[in-house]
Structure 1
Amino acid sequence: MSPREPRLQAGWDIGGAHVKACLLADGALRDVAQWPCPLWQGMEHLDAALDAARSRWGGAWGPELAHAATMTGEMVDLFPDREQGVARIADRLAQSLGASLRLFDGEGDWRAPHEAPARWRGIASANWRATARVVAQRLGEAVLVDIGSTTTDLIPLRAGRVAALGTSDAERLATGELVYQGVVRTPLCALGPRVHWRGDTVNVMNEFFATTADVYRLTGELEPAHDQADTADGRGKDAGACRQRLARMVGRDAAEAGPADWLALADCWKHAQLAELASQLQRVCAGAGVPGGVPLVGAGCGAFLAEQLARRTGRPFFRYAEVALPAASPAAALASWADVCAPAVSVALLACRRE
């Protein structure tokens, strides 16, 4: 008897800045990856990311590969509104991925691409709910802290269920469950109007001179492989270029101070971001009645910051991969990418369970 071919499942998270995807074989993680996708510049960037995945998984790509997808890219200003964004992304995915494609509906079901125009509200920006559902099923009680390149999700989980008060982006912004800060693309002026500089408190320039990636490159905490966005000035990502961008934020040039001074300034911005996330976490936990000892589960390319948030608030900490993939125990590099691409991994896991 010939051996059975493994059941192959792909999971997709179509964002406005990146496309994240994973490949499962019989429910075990075989591969996971992320590609830059500045979707606001045109649908051709989505096509390029899909082509890159097809090339990467050439041996597995075929009619036996099932596809499940979620998205946040409908928010970009390429589209006149979110409804058209969902419909156009769904249509493009269907053309590329084929008839097996199912779209994750955060309201509790899966949708065929042709249903997207009518069901767009449930499909739009539902990726956080997929990740939260997987973690809730594994741990029961926790707070998911998914810190990505652009945003942070703070999702309370109670009794094995997602206990978020908000459902849409608008509602989650109101509850604190969505914080529009990340560790790569956030302009530094969004973290606060003043910083500490050489013993003084100084105003910062409200200009797009530098981003949080400059901070975490200097602190050494942002993995270079996860650092896929362009810099604010289009120049390099080396330490000297990062210092120069930080210097502009306080009206200076990098040559006016030493590396230790610029690292101290980077730390100032980092702690401002941590303080804001801690404040929002407190709001979310109070709103959902989350007990103090409940762990945080970190995901995203900023999972390192989620771990520091757990220490700051005295909570236990787990990475997404160790919670979502405990039996598989993927290699460290693969587990790290699973953390970054948690929504893509989650929709794939949920689709496998559905089958």
Structure 2
Amino acid sequence: MSRPEALQLQLGWDIGGAHVKACLLQGGTLRDIAQWPCPLWQGMEHLAAALGQARSRWSGAWEAGVAHAATMTGEMVDLFEDRAEGVARIAGQLAEVLGPSLRLFDAGGGWRRPGEAGPGWRSIASANWQATARVLAARCGDGVLIDIGSTTTDLIPLRGGRVAAQGASDAERLATGELVYQGVVRTPLCALAPRVPWGGGGVNVMNEFFATTADVYRLTGELAASHDQAGTADGRGKDAQSTRQRLARMVGRDAADASAAEWLALARWWKEAQLREIGTQLARVAADARLPADAPVVGAGCGAFLAADLARRCGRPFLRYAEVALPAGGPDAALADWADVCAPAVSVALLACERE
């Protein structure tokens, strides 16, 4: 790669507690996106491994002149004593691998060098939703971002071209309903409901880590295999029979105790339970922000299919992140799908390009 080509490259990074997401822009145009599993709670070596995979994929993106912009949520994992330590250690490892061009997204509206991560950790920590919302607000005016990922859901109101969230930190957003700690892959099913319908009546569920939401959406056929990257609750396969067995454990049974149709019906009930919870919080957020009734839902994340369902249920238009954030006639369909899934990584890259 020649130096002029390198100077046009901008990488965007979203360092999560379970995945690393990254995208490559060239001359402001999206060229590639990828996501790698990164169970950061098990050790920093997993971040190093994900960065190594990125380097193998984009070997020219470490040359002098290539710019890197990053946001993070991984500081929340219990590997770290507290969030301040998490921000500092993640920033330090990124700087060591990515080089001196790295800038960290600051929710206050600016950018910080890695060496500033310690004193500035509060505005760097878990700010990825701010990057996505800021990109969308500038492009769609009024709306509500629903970013449903593997672990969490962000519900962010947009009013008059600005981010209208009441909360800033995770703690504040949990209080306002703008952060719902549910996703479509890693959420334990026992967190969604204490009791489920079964056999014409009801049954209490087992409060054990026997199954996750990935099992639900794998059975319903809505979770793409490429987004189903987390390990299963029992460490066994992701085939239909193994998935049914995990659901069966939730109600004290085995997969052989019922038909495939009955287990699918139970999976669909779990989906409805999750939609009800997120829908309740969405109504609260929209009302608090006084969103116009016709303000669209902009869906992002590997659970954007749920965002589309929520839009239909509340009578709002539905748009995908990629069609709002990226120019018309931009990436192909496959790349646009990945842009939806990795919206914060794309957003920090776009914001960094706009800064330049």
Distance 1:3 1:179 in 2: 44
Q: What's the counterpart of residue 22 of structure 1? A: 23
Distance 2:216 2:288 in 1: 31
Distance 1:143 1:237 in 2: 33
TM superposition shift of 1:296:
0.3
Q: What's the counterpart of residue 79 of structure 2? A: 78
1:1-355 pair list within 5 angstroms: 5=5, 7-355=8-356
- 1:280-324 per-position Cα deviation (integer Å, ceiling 9, x unaligned): 001101111112211000000000110011111111001101111
CA RMSD of aligned residues (A): 1.2
Count of residues in correspondence between the two structures: 354
Contact 1:29 1:328 in 2 (8 A): no
Please tell me the residue identity of whatever aligns with 2:196.
Answer: V
TM superposition shift of 1:67:
0.1
Gaps spanning 5+ residues in structure 1: where?
none
TM-score (norm. length: structure 2): 0.98
TM superposition shift of 1:329:
2.3
TM superposition shift of 1:332:
1.1
Distance 2:15 2:3 in 1: 34
Distance 2:351 2:199 in 1: 51
- Classify the secondary structure of the residue corresponding to 2:244: helix
TM superposition shift of 1:353:
0.2
TM superposition shift of 1:91:
0.5
Distance 1:86 1:33 in 2: 22
Distance 1:179 1:313 in 2: 18
Distance 2:38 2:122 in 1: 23
TM superposition shift of 1:64:
2.3
Distance 1:122 1:213 in 2: 31
Distance 1:283 1:326 in 2: 32
- Higher alpha-carbon deviation: 212-221 or 62-71: 62-71
TM superposition shift of 1:4:
5.5
- 1:168-199 per-position Cα deviation (integer Å, ceiling 9, x unaligned): 00000000000000000000000011111232
- 1:76-103 per-position Cα deviation (integer Å, ceiling 9, x unaligned): 0000000010001000000000000000
Please tell me the residue identity of whatever aligns with 1:256.
Answer: D
Distance 1:159 1:319 in 2: 19
Contact 1:294 1:316 in 2 (8 A): yes
- 1:123-172 per-position Cα deviation (integer Å, ceiling 9, x unaligned): 00000000000010110101000000000000000000000000000000
Distance 1:238 1:7 in 2: 43
- Classify the secondary structure of the residue corresponding to 1:59: helix
TM superposition shift of 1:61:
3.1
Distance 2:77 2:33 in 1: 24
Distance 2:354 2:204 in 1: 52
TM superposition shift of 1:63:
1.2
Distance 1:291 1:191 in 2: 30
- 1:105-127 per-position Cα deviation (integer Å, ceiling 9, x unaligned): 00111000000001000000000
Distance 1:201 1:298 in 2: 33
- Higher alpha-carbon deviation: 146-155 or 51-60: 51-60
